[in-house]
Amino acid sequence: MLFSSCFFSCRFHMGNLLKVLTYNELDQGPNFFLDFENAQPTEAETAVWNQVNAVLEEAQGVLAELQSYTGAGQEIREAIQNPGDLRLQERAWSAVCPLVAKLKRFYEFSLRLENALRSLLEALTSPPYAPTQHLEREQALAKQFAEILHFTLSFDELKMTNPAIQNDFSYYRRTISRNRINNLQLDAESEVNNEMANRMSLFYAEATPMLKTLSNATTKFVSENKTLPIEDTTDCLSTMACVCRVMLETPEYRSRFTNTETLLFCMRVMVGVIILYDHVHPVGAFAKTSKIDMKGCIKVLKEQPSTSTEGLLNALRYTTRHLNDDTTSKQVRALLQ
């Protein structure tokens, strides 16, 4: 994207945000350069920032645990193949129980993440400021919003490529049911009772459970805040998508990144806000009236190495709501084929 001479930057009070006073060809609103690497909270942001930061501090640990999750496949297979061997049954159960406790922690973290997202949405859409002004004024909260999306897509990519998670949990539930029929109480039931197991089962049945959690939370936020125009929430999302697209497609801005991981961070955040927008907005992200330049966003993803973007393109293909609507242009559909 080429920028005209009317395009200039001005230092914001913390120096972390460059406002780009231009409009793209589709008149989709102002673009911003957010310093995702260095934004720090102002005094006004501190209360919400601290609340959300307490959740985000756990995020890397959750991803590390999920990445190292190997499952109890061998123990389960041996137990199933030898149903009369009590030693193998006990061995499988002993292997599965700590894994299920870990899956419970992941699920409980998703609930805390949902609450953190709600706090950020409240802060970034509250009157009297428009969403665009919030993103200008509250850079550190915008960065936390981005970090939640980055974590979400990272978690879901790991989950989708690890079938052991659902296999382990299915075995756990079958064993619990069988022992309940036989009136046997297992120690693990006190930690993951039937109600919790049902909720976890619904969570892990989703292809992208964290993304589904955030989508549901955003939709619920909109429905519960009836005095808040839905556009305030969707404009916050579309502006963030625009931020990331401009940062990715502009060499001048990309050169500001001091960490090579920031490029992948921007791509994940862009895809995450597109999916949230598509779930919350009545006509979605792919319609011609959408405030997101979908062609531009998809093109900028396709310009990156496929190893970095194939999972993100699949997220757009399979976890959005309106891609196959009649209002989606043939060009956008073709780009995602």
Least confidently predicted of 177-186, 225-234, 328-337: 177-186
pLDDT of 14 > 60? The answer is: no
**Model pTM score:** 0.84
- 8 A C-beta contact, residue 129 and residue 44: no
Summarised one tens digit per residue, pLDDT across range 165-205 is 999 999 999 988 876 645 445 555 556 888 899 999 999 99
Query: For residue 21, which phi and psi values (nearest 5 degrees)?
Result: -90, 75
List Cβ neighbours of 292 (8 Å cut-off, separation of 6 or more).
Answer: 28, 238, 241, 242, 274, 277, 285
Sign of the alpha-carbon dihedral angle for 138, 148, 62, 198: positive
Average pLDDT, the chain: 84
Burial class of residue 56 (count of CB atoms within 10 Å of its CB; 0-12, 13-18, 19+):
middle
Residue of 310, 311, 312, 336 lying closest to 323 (CA atoms):
336
Length of the chain equals 337
- H/E element holding 133? helix 131-137
Task: Write out the DSSP string of 53-96.
Answer: HHHHHHHHHHHHHHHT---SHHHHHHHHH-TT-HHHHHHHHHHH
Confidence band, pLDDT 50/70/90 cuts, at residue 8: very low
3 state SS of 19: strand
Report the pLDDT averaged over residues 289-309: 90
Question: Which 3 state secondary structure label does DSSP give 33?
Answer: strand
pLDDT band at residue 317, thresholds of 50, 70 and 90?
very high
Query: pLDDT by residue (tens digit) across 36-95?
Result: 888 899 999 999 999 999 999 999 999 999 999 999 999 999 999 999 998 999 999 999
Of the given ranges (63-67, 122-126, 224-228), which has the lowest mean pLDDT? 224-228
